[in-house]
Structure 1
Amino acid sequence: MSSRRVRPYIMASVGMLICTSLVSCQNVSRLSLHDASEPQLQLAHEKYQLDNGLTVILHQDNSDPLVHVDVTYHVGSAREVPGRSGFAHFFEHMMFQGSKHVADEQHFKLITEAGGELNGTTNSDRTNYFQTVPANHLERVLWLESDRMGFLLDAVDQKKFEIQRETVKNERAELIDNQPYGLRDERIAQALYPPEHPYSWPTIGYVEDLNRVDVSDLKQFFLRWYGPNNAVLTIGGDIHIEQTKAIVARYFSDIPAGPQVEKAKPDVVSLQDDRYITLHDQVHLPLLQKTYPTVYARHPDEAPLDVLADILGGGKNALLYKNLVKTGQAVQAVVAHPCRELACEFQIIVLANPEIVPNLALIEKAIKETLDEFEQRGVVADDLNRVKAGIKANAVFELQSVEGKVSLLAANETFYGTPDLLDEDVRRYQSVTKDDVMRVFHQYIKDNASVILSIVPADQDDMAARTSNYRVPDRVIKARASERLTTRKTVSEFDRTTVPEPGPAPVVEVPPFWRSQLANGVDVMGIYYDETPTVTLSIGFEGGVLLEPIEKAGLASLTAMLMNESTQHFGNEEIANELEKLGSQVSVTASGRFIQVEVSALTRHVEKTMALVEEKLLRPAFNADEFERVKAQLLEGKRQQAQDASAMALQARDTLLFGSHNRVSLPDEGTITSIQSMTLADVKSFYKRYLTTHRAHAVIVGNVSERKAKDLLSFLEGLSDQAYDIPQYLDFPEYQEQAIYVIDNPLALQSVVMLVKRDRPFDATGPFFKSQLMNFSLGAAFNSRINLNLREDKSITYGASANFIGGKTLGWYEVRADVQRQSTALAISEILQEIKTFREQGITAEEMRFMRSAYSQFDALNYETPVSKAFFLRKMMGFDLPVDYRRQQLAIINSITEADINTIAQVGLQPDDLQIIVVGDKQQLAAQLNALGLPIKTLELPQ
C-alpha cells in the first residue's frame, strides 16, 4: 500500500517494501554521471550519534527554502509475534494522536498551517515519520518529533486507542478487503512463508489480532522499540549544519535509550514442491502470480536477479511482453524482484485476457515456455545495456527532491549502517554480467518450486491454473511470556510546553522563466534548471477527449495509446529499446482537456531522445494488428473497471453532474460500447484532424538554454497547422429535489459515498479560489470538520474530504468518504449536518488563522523539482494566468475577512443542492437509506 500524500489532506498509511535495490534508491544534488571507471558518486552528508544512541544524518541542500525531516525506527511488522499482527502499523497511527506537550491532532495542524506535508509509513522492516516544511519551521518539526519519541505514553489513553483501532480496520477494509486483488499479497505470504516467519502475516494485520490487543500492549511496544537507540534522524535541505546540531541536541539528547535491539538476521525460505492456491474475488480479469523465494536485500545475487526480472518482464522488449501481451493472451505481464531485510521474492504476474484465454493453466504453460526460451536464448547485449542505462538515469530522475535524498540516507543507515551507498549501488549493477544472470536463473528459477496464485471470479474454479493443493495451516496463537518494561522518564531542563516559533518566513520567488514561440506560433515556456543534468519536457494539444463524438468516446485515449506503439521507421520494441538504452522515457496520454506528450531524458541524450519523440509524434504507424491488440486491452480494462467501486462512483458523479448525453459525463477512455464501435480509420482521422499546432504548447525544464529548447522542439513545424474548434457542451441536467442514487455493488464491505453539485470552473483569484479558502477548514485539510467527525469522532472511515474541483470550463463540489457499510446513512447525515452548521454558524477565528497560515506558506514546496516546475508552467499556460497571480492570491489570503468567508459559504454551500451517490450493497443498505427520508433512485451506468 502506497502512502497517501495529498496536500493539505494527508493520511497515515502502510508503506511499500523497503528501498534496497536497482534504481529506486538513488539521488544526488547537482549530479554528474560517470562511467564505472570514473570518480565515485557521492551524496554529501554528516553522520554522528548522540549519547543515547540516536543516529543523526545531516544533508545540506540550499537550492530551495525547505527542509525534510525523517525519523526512521527499525521496527516493522517483522518484529511482531504471531497473534499480534498489525501492531507496528497500528502504532504508526497512534504516533499522530498527540504526546505530553502536543495536543490530539495538533501535529497535523501545525505542519499543515506551516504549508508543509507530513505522513508516516510502515512496512515489514521499519516505520518512518516524515515532514517537508518551509525551512523556518525546522525547530518546530524537531520539537514535535522529539515529544512523541520521549513523551508519547503520557498522552495515550483508551479512547485514542479505540479510535485508531477502528481507523486501521477502516483502512484495511478500504484498501485491501474491498479492493479487487487486494488480498493478493496476503495470500501469497501465507503460502510462501511458514506460520512463524515474520513475513507470513500482512503489515496491516488481521482484524482478529487488532481486536485482541489492548492499550497496555501498545505501551509495551513503544517501550521495546521506540527508543532513540533504535532510530535514525535524518534532516536535509536548507539548513545550517552547526545550528541544526544544536537544535537536535536540545530536543533529543535528554531522551533515555531503550532496550538494546539486536539486528534482524536474514531468514530466506525454500519450497520443496509447487504450492497452488486459488482466491475468488470480484474481478473480471483473472490473475496468475508465480512467486519464487530467492535471497535477501544486498545479497550478492540480488542485482543479477533484478536484471533477470527486467529481461523477462520489464518493458516492451521483455520476453513475457512478446509472448503474452503482444499475442493478446494477457492485458499485462510484469516481473519484479522486491527485496526486504529478511528475504526476497521473484514475482511473475500476469493479468489474463478472458476473451482469449479460457483458464490460467494456459498462462502458466506460456510462462514455462518463456522461461525455456530465455534459457535457450540467453542474455543479449541490449538486455544489459537497457538495465544499466536505466539505473544511471533513474539515479537522478526518481529522487530529485530533498525528500528523496533524505529517504535514501535514512534507509541505508537503518539497514546497513552506511548512509551513502549511491556509488556502490550503481557499480554493483554495472558489474552484472551475462553469466551472472544465467547463473541465478538456474539457481533460483529454473525447475524451482514456487507459489502459484490464481485469482478468478467467484464460482469460476475452472479458470484457476490448477486445483489448490496447499491449505494454509490454521493459526495457532500460543500464550507467550513477554518482558514487562517500565516507563522511561525524560527529564528536560527547558520548558517543552512552549511551541517553538518559526523563524522569518523564507522569501519564495516564482522560478524565473522565459516565454517564446516557435516559427509556427506554438507557445513555449521554459525554466533553466541545473541541479541535475536532466530535461523534463511536455507537449500539450488542447481539446483531447472533448473533441470526440460521444458515440466514439475514448477515441483520443486509443489514439494516444497507439502513438506509444510503432512508428513508420521503428517497430514498437525497437523504439522502446532505443529509449531504454538512453535511460529516457516518452509517453503519450489523453486525459481531460489535453493530449499530452511527456518526456524525460538526461541532458547528454536529449537530442537522440527528441529524435524519437519526433518519430512518435509525426510518424505513428497505426498498424492494424497493434490497433486490435490495444483496443482489446482497453476493452478488458473497462470490464475490470466495472468491478471497482471507486470507478463506479466517479462515473456516477459525472453522469449526475453533466448528463449522459454529454461527452464529459463519460470516462476519458470511453465505454465498452463506444470502444467496440471504433475503427482504425477513426484513429487515423482523429490524429490527422486534431494533432496540429493550432492549439499546441510546450514547456521545458532543464539545463538547456531557450535557444537550445526551441531547436529541440523545431520538429513541431512538421505538424499541420489546421485550425479546429472545441465543441460546446449540451445542456446540463437540473434537479428539482435532492435524492440518493444507488449503484449496486453486491457483497461490498464498504460503501463509497459522494455528495456532488456543479460549481464554478477554475480561476486563480476569483470566486473559485475564494471558495477553496472557505472550504479549507470544512473539508480540505486533514483537520477539517468533516474528516475529524467521520474519522476521529465516529471512526467510520479511513478518511473523508470535500473539495472544489475546477478545470478551464467546468467545475464542481464533491464530498467523498469510503465508509463502513453499516454506517453509510450515518456518514451522509453527518456530512450534511457539518455543511449546514458551517453555513449557518460560519468559520471560527482559529479556522481563519489556520487557513491563512497554510495557504500563505506552501510556495516553499511548490517549485522544488523539475516536475513541479513543469506543472507550474503548464498551469500558467493552460489557464493563461498572469505572471503575478501568486502575489495576487497572497493579497486575497491576507485581506479576506471572516464575513467574506461566511458570505461565500451561505451562497455556495446549499446542502439540499447536493446529489448523493452511494456505491454499495443495495440490499444491505436499503433499510438505513430509507430512514433518511430522501428519494432513492437506482442509477444505471453507461456500459
Structure 2
Amino acid sequence: MSVKLTLKNFVIVSAMLGIAACQQQATSSIENEPNQEQITIPYEKYTLDNGLTVILHEDKSDPLVHVDVTYHVGSAREEVGKSGFAHFFEHMMFQGSKHVADEQHFRIITESGGSMNGTTNSDRTNYYQTVPANQLEKVLWLEADRMGFLLDAVTQKKFEVQRETVKNERAQRVDNQPYGLRHERTIEALFPSGHPYSWSTIGYVEDLDRVDVNDLKAFFKRWYGPNNAVLTIGGDIDKSKTKQWVEKYFGSIPKGPEVNKDKPEIIELNETRYITLEDQVHLPLLQITFPTVYARHPDEAPLDVLSDILGTGKTSLFYKNLVKSGMAVQAAVGHPCRELACEFQLLALANPSAGKNLKQIHQVVKDTLEEFEQRGVLPDDLKRTKASIEVSTVFGLQSVAGKVSALAANETFYGEPDLIADDIARYNSVTAEDVMRVYRKYIKNKHAVVLSVVPKGQTQLAVAAQNYQLPERKITPPSEVDEVKQPAIVDNFDRSKTPAAGEIPAVKVPEYWESSLANGISLLGVHSEETPTTHISLALEGGMLLDQKDKAGLASLTMLMLNESTLNFTNEEMANALAKLGSSIQFSTSGRYMQVQVSTLSKNLSETINLLEEKMFNPAFLEADFLRLKERILQSMQQQLKDPGYLADRGRDVVLFGKENRVSLPGEGTIATVTNITLDDVKNFYSRYWSPNMAKAITVTDLSQAELTQQLGFLSKWEQKEYAITEQYQFPEYDKTSLFFIEHPEAVQSVVLVTKRGPTYDATGEFFKAKLMNFPLGGAFNSRINLNLREDKGYAYGARSHFTGGKSLGFFEVSSNVTAANTADAINEIVNELNAYQSQGMTEEEVAFMRSAYTLSDALKYETPANKVRFLRQLQAFELDDDYPVQQLKIINSISVDELNQLASKHLKMQDMQIIVVADKSVLESQLQGLPYPTQILTIRH
C-alpha cells in the first residue's frame, strides 16, 4: 500500500509500537501547544536514551487511547531477491514474544475491548491499537515485549505458517483480483532495476520462498531497534503516569544499529514504456504514469493541484472529456507520493459500448492535456483546493486515531510531528503560475509508463505494442547471515506478569434531542462541539423493496440521478459550488433505504442547505445524464462478474432467497432489469416515492437544536405521499446440504461460503444472543475458525463467521478465500468446526473472553460523528428503547453458557447449511468429488 504523506490524507497512516524498560531519563522534551490562530495538534515529544522517540497527545473527550508504533522500515529497505520481507515480518510480529504466548496479542487486545492491526508500505511499518483508557499500561507492555523479546519466540513452524498466510494474502488481494497486478507492473517499468520502489510491498512469491528464519532474525535486529521507532500515544491519558510506563517497559531495550535516511532521487525515463497486461477483466483500462518529485518537495503541492484540476470530480477536464462523453466509465488523475518518489497517474476505465480502443482514449487524454494548457488555471480551481484542505484538516481531527497517525507519520519522515499549519500554508501559497510551471516541467511531452489492461486474448485493444520487458532479476546467492549479538535486557520488575487494567472508564451513551419537522419527519440530533462540523443523514424507507422485479435497480438509479443536473445547475456548476464550500451531498440506496448524506463545515451549512434543497426538489432528469449513468452501471455489472467475491455473494443470495424474489437480486439490479428501465420510469418513481412519508433524519453538529431545526425548515414544504412496502416471499427449502459450484476460470484461490438463513435483527433477543454465541467461533481473530484455517493450516489469509440481520431477512455465513489446492481440506475443517461447536458448545473460558470483549469495547463506540450517526440510525430504524445498550450489557454479563450453547445447537446444524464455492473447475473437480455433498452448478448472470 502506498501512502501519500501530505495533508490530503493525513489520516491514512497509522502505527503502533512498544518495548521494555528500566528507569532512564528522557534526553529532550518539546511541547507544541495550541495556537488560537492556527489549526494544530498539541503534543509533547521527547527521546529516551536508547533513541526511542515518544509523542504524547492529550484528548479527554472520550475514554479511550490510541497507541501507534511506527518503525522506519518498509519494502524500500529490502534487498533485491528478498521482496515482501518487511510485510512478511509485520505478520511475524503478531506471533507472540518471550512473555506473550502464541496468538495472545490479538486475544489480549480483543479481550480488553480494543481493536488493533499492523500495516506495511514501502517506507514504514506500523502497529496500532485503540483501547479503553484503562488498558494503556497493558498495551505498552505488549508492544515493548515484541520490540525487545520477539526473537525468543520465533520458531521455524511459525515462520512457515506465516509465509503461507502472506502468500494467501497476495493471492486474495493481488493475483485473484481484477486489475490486481496493475500497481506491480507499473512500478517494475517506472523505476530502475534494483530501485527500492521497483517491487511491490507484498513482494514476489519466489522471493518469499527464498528467505528463511535466519533472514527474519537478521531483519529484526537490523531495523526494529527503538532508535528506528516512534511511539505515539494519544487520548485520555495521564501524561505523568504514561511517561513512567514508557520508561518502565521501553527504557531498557538496547539501541539498534544506526539508521540513515535514504536520499530521494528524482527519476527520469529515457523513453515512453508501453506495457500490456492481459487480465480477467471486462473493462479495458489505461493508466499513464509520469515520475515526478518526492513527498514534501516544493513542487508536490502544485502537482497535487494540477491533478485535482485534471481529474478530480465533475469539475475536472477528465470528467468532461472522458466520462461525460461516454468514452470511459471512470476517469481520474492522482499524484500519490512516497518518501523517495511521487507518481503522476492518469487513469481511464474504458466503456466498451463506445467502440473505442485504448489507443483512441489515449489520444483524448493527450488532447485534454493540450486543452488544459490552453485553458490555464481558473480562480475556482484554487478555491476548490483550498476548501478541500480546510475540510480534510478539520475532519481529520475528529478521531484520536487520525491525530495520532498524523503525528507519528510526520515525525517518522520529517522529524516534526505537527505539520498541519505548514501543509495549509504550502497549499494556500500555490499560484496558477506554479501549476502551469509544474505541468510543463513534469508532464508536457515527458516520457511515461503507459499501461494497457485488456481482457485476455484482446491485446489489439492496447494503446501500442509492448516495447518494454522487465530485465532479468539478478539474484545474488544467499550468503550466511552474520549473527548479531544484542546486549541482555536487565529489568527491575517481572515482565512475565500482565499489567492489571485500571478502573473501567465510565462510558456515556450520547445524549440526543428529538423532534419532528412540520410534515412529520422524525429528527434525532446530537450536539457535539469537538469539531465545527455538521453531518445530516436522511433515510427514506423502501429502497429496493419498491422496485418491480423486472425493473430491479430502479430505486438505485433514481437516487443516482439525484446526484446529477438540476433545473438551475449543471453537473459541473453544482460540483464546483459544493467543492468551493468543502461540502458534500450524496444520494444513494442501501438495502431497504434511500439515503441522503450531507457533510459540511458548520459555517457553510446555510449555503450547503440551499444546494441540498435544489438537488432534492429540482432534479432535471436529463436524458444525457440518464443514458450515461445507465451505461456506466451496465458496464460495471459486466466487470463484477469477474470478481470472485461478488460471485460468491450473488450465489449466496440466490441459494438462500431464491431466484424469483427481489431480495435475491443486487440493490443495483441486473443487466436484464436495468436494461428495462427508462427515464420515464425514473421520473415516475421519483413522483411516486420521493416523499417524507417514511423519512427520518439524523444530525450531529456543533450547532444548537434551534439553529439546526431552522436550517432544515425547507423540508416542511416536502409533499406527503402515502406508499406501502410489501414483503411477501417464498424462500427455497433444502432437505440436505449441497455444494453449489460457480465457475471462475484461472482462479488462483477458491472462495468458500457455508451459509443458511438466520434470525432477523433484534437488539436484545435471539439475533443479538446468536452474535454473542458466534464470537468465539468466527467473530474474532482468535476465533476457532480463523485460528484453524489461517494460523494452524495456512490455508487462508483469514476466515470468519457472522450473523447478519435486517428487518425482514437474516443469514449466517462462514466465509474464506482459500488456496485452490486445499479447497476440499478447508471445507472439511469448517464443517468439523461447526459440528464440534454445535454439539459441544462453548467453553467457560470462551464465554469469559466474549463477555470481556463486548463489555469493554463500549469505550470505542461513540467517539466520532460517524459513530454517533450509526447509534442514532439504529435507534430510529428499529424503534429501539434509548437504553438498549444498557439492556445489552445486562445480557452480556448474565447470559449463561447453557443458553449460548442451546443457540449453537439450534443455529449451527450442518444439515441446514449450504456450501458455495467459486473456483476454477478444472483445478477443483477431483477434490470436490471426494466431498460427501451433491454438487450443483450455479451460473450467475447479471
Amino acid at match of 1:274: T
SS where residue 565 of structure 1 aligns? coil
Match of 1:252 among 247, 250, 253: 250
C-alpha distance in 1, partners of 2:708/2:655?
44
Matching residue's letter, 1:52: N
Q: Tell me the amino acid that sits aligned with residue 164 of structure 1.
A: Q
- 2:886 pairs with 1:900: no
DSSP 3-state at the match of 1:713: helix
Match for residue 218 of structure 1 among 198, 216, 219:
216
How far apart are the structure 2 equivalents of 1:430 and 1:680?
43
Amino acid aligned to 2:365:
I
Q: Residue in 1 aligned with 2:777?
A: 778
For residue 483 of structure 1, report the CA deviation from its aligned partner.
5.5
Q: Counterpart of 1:694?
A: 693
1:733-756 alpha-carbon deviations (Å, 9 max, x no partner): 111221000000011000100011
**2:383 aligned to 360, 382, 385, which one?**
385
1:196 aligns with 2:194: yes
Q: 2:916 corresponds to which residue?
A: 917
Provide the C-alpha distance between the structure 2 equivalents of 1:608 and 1:539, rounded to a whole number of angstroms.
18
Q: In structure 2, what is the Cα distance between the partners aligned to 1:551 and 1:464? A: 37
**Alignment-derived partner of residue 289 in structure 1:** 287
CA distance in structure 2 between the aligned counterparts of 1:942 and 1:913, rounded to whole angstroms: 26
C-alpha separation in 2, matches of 1:480 and 1:908: 53
Q: Residue 507 of structure 1 aligns with which residue?
A: 506
The residue correspondences of 1:613-632 to structure 2 (distance < 5 A) are 613-632=612-631
After superposition, the C-alpha distances for 1:501-552 in whole angstroms (9 at most, x for unaligned) are 1111111010100111001110000000111100011001001011101101
Partner SS for 2:231: strand
Per-residue displacement from partner, 1:694-721 (whole Å, max 9, x unpaired)? Answer: 0001000011111222222222223221
For each residue in 1:318-358, what CA deviation from the matched residue of structure 2 results, as whole angstroms up to 9, or x when unmatched?
00100000000000001000110101000001101011143
- Greater shift after overlay, 298-307 or 584-593? 584-593
Instruction: Answer whether contact 1:567 1:621 (CA < 8 A) is retained.
Output: yes
Q: CA deviation at 1:26?
A: 9.8
- Cα drift, residue 65 of structure 1: 0.1
Q: C-alpha separation between the residues in 2 aligned to 1:786 and 1:926?
A: 25
SS in 2 for 1:626: helix
SS at match of 1:455: strand
CA RMSD of aligned residues (A): 1.2
Which residue of the partner structure matches residue 409 of structure 1?
407
* Match 1:448 to one of 446, 449, 465: 446
- How far did 1:484 drift? 4.3
| Alignment partners' CA distance in 1, 2:893 and 2:285 | 54
Matches within 5 A, 1:343-354: 343-354=341-352
| Contact 2:452–2:462 (CA under 8 A) maintained in structure 1 | yes
Equivalent pairs counted in the alignment come to 920
Q: Which runs of 5+ in 2 are unaligned?
A: 14-34
Partner of 1:124: 122
Look up the match of 2:808.
Answer: 809
Q: How far off its partner does 1:161 sit?
A: 0.4
Indicate the SS of the match to 1:863: coil
**What does residue 24 of structure 2 align with?**
none
Q: Give the secondary structure class of the aligned counterpart of 1:586.
A: strand
Match 1:39 to one of 24, 31, 37: 37
Structure 1 counterpart of 2:368: 370
Match of residue 394, structure 1, among 392, 395, 398 = 392
Alignment CA distance shift 1:26-1:126 (3 Å) = closer
Structure 1 residues 488 and 357: CA distance shift in structure 2, 3 A: farther
CA distance in 2, matches of 1:719, 1:698: 14
Q: How far apart in 1 are the matches of 2:725 and 2:787?
A: 42
2:717 aligned with 1:731, yes or no?
no
Match of 1:158 in 2: 156
Asked whether 1:487 is paired with 2:473, we answer: no
CA distance in 1: counterparts of 2:110 and 2:407, whole angstroms: 25
Contact 2:7 2:393 in 1 (8 A): no
Shift of residue 617, structure 1, vs aligned partner: 1.0
Match of 1:882 in 2: 881
Q: TM-score, normalised by structure 1?
A: 0.97
Contact in 2 for aligned 1:21/1:297 (Cα 8 Å): no
- 1:754 equivalent in alignment to 2:753: yes
1:493 alignment partner AA:
N
What one-letter code is carried by the residue in structure 1 that aligns with 2:251? S
Alpha carbons 1:23, 1:390 under 8 Å: kept: no
How far off its partner does 1:263 sit? 1.0
Write out per-residue CA displacement over residues 571-609 of structure 1, whole angstroms, 9 at most, x where no aligned residue: 111011000000001111111010110110000000100
CA offset at residue 22 of structure 1?
3.0
Residue 5 of structure 2 aligns with an amino acid whose one-letter code is C
For 2:4 and 2:899, the matched residues in 1 are separated by 48
CA distance in 2, matches of 1:322, 1:256: 58
Q: Which one of the candidate residues 266, 269, 282 is aligned to 2:267? A: 269
Kindly indicate whether the alpha-carbon contact (under 8 Å) linking 2:4 and 2:295 is maintained by their aligned counterparts in 1.
no
Structure 2 counterpart of 1:162, one-letter code: E
- The amino acid across from 2:646 in the alignment is A
Q: Which amino acid aligns with 1:22?
A: K
Could you tell me how far 1:635 is from its partner in structure 2?
0.5
Task: Report the residue type matching 1:229 in the other structure.
Answer: N
Distance (Å, rounded) in 1 between the aligned partners of 2:487 and 2:268:
42
**Is the Cα–Cα contact under 8 Å of residues 23 and 395 in structure 1 kept in the other structure?**
no
The residue identity in structure 2 corresponding to 1:843 is M
Number of the residue aligned with 1:546:
545
Query: Which secondary structure does the structure 1 equivalent of 2:692 belong to?
Result: coil
Residues 611-640 of structure 1: CA distance to partner in whole angstroms, max 9, x if unpaired?
Answer: 111111111111011000000000010010
Question: What is the rounded CA distance, in whole Å, between the counterparts of 1:102 and 1:474 in structure 2?
Answer: 43
Identity %: 57
Q: CA deviation at 1:258?
A: 0.2
Equivalent pair of 2:745/2:919 in contact (CA under 8 Å): yes
Q: CA separation of 1:638/1:398 partners in 2, compared to 1, >3 Å: closer, same or farther?
A: farther
- In 2, the alpha carbon distance for the partners of 1:181 and 1:24 equals 26
- Which has the larger displacement, 18-27 or 811-820? 18-27
Report the equivalent of 2:339: 341
Matches within 5 A, 1:680-719: 680-719=679-718
The amino acid across from 1:654 in the alignment is D
- Mapped contact 1:151–1:490 kept (Cα < 8 A): no
| 2:240 paired residue among 239, 242, 258 | 242
Q: Using the alignment, how far apart are the partners of 1:207 and 1:915 within structure 2?
A: 34
Displacement after TM superposition at 1:480 (Å): 6.6
- CA–CA separation in structure 1 for the residues paired with 2:728 and 2:682: 23
Query: Quick one: which amino acid aligns to residue 267 of structure 2?
Result: V
Cα displacement string for residues 840-878 of structure 1 (whole angstroms, at most 9, x for unaligned residues): 111111101100001111111110001111111111101
8 Å contact kept, 1:22–1:429: no
- Name structure 1 gaps, 5 residues minimum: 1-14, 28-36
Residues in 2 aligned to 1:220 and 1:776: alpha-carbon distance in whole angstroms? 38
Q: CA deviation at 1:145?
A: 0.2
Q: What is the alpha-carbon distance in structure 2 between the residues aligned to residue 583 and residue 18 of structure 1?
A: 20
SS in 2 for 1:507: coil
Secondary structure of 1:355's aligned partner = helix
5 Å-filtered alignment, 1:622-701, equals 622-701=621-700
Tell me what 2:939 maps to: 940
- Aligned partners of 1:712 and 1:498: how far apart in 2? 56
- Which of 44-53 and 932-941 deviates more? 932-941
SS of structure 1 residue aligned to 2:353: coil
SS at the partner of 1:524?
strand
* Mapping 1:31-110, distance limit 5 Å: 39-110=37-108
Letter in 2 for 1:470: Y
Superimposed CA distance per residue, residues 479-511 of structure 1 (whole angstroms, 9 cap, x where no aligned partner): 476654223432211100000111111110101
What is the distance in 2 between the residues matched to 1:786 and 1:218?
Answer: 28
Secondary structure at the residue paired with 1:610? Answer: helix
Matched with 1:464 is: 462
Q: Could you tell me which amino acid in structure 2 is paired with residue 48 of structure 1?
A: Y
Gap change, CA 1:38 and 1:385, over 3 Å in 2:
farther
- 1:20 is the counterpart of 2:16: no
Partners of 2:289 and 2:461 in 1: CA distance: 19
Q: Give deviations 1:624-671, integer Å, cap 9, x for gaps.
A: 110000000000100100111011111111111111111010011110
Take 1:475 and 1:556, find their aligned partners in 2: how far apart are those partners? 53
- Please give the per-residue CA displacement for 1:882-902, whole angstroms capped at 9, x wherever unaligned: 011010001111111111111
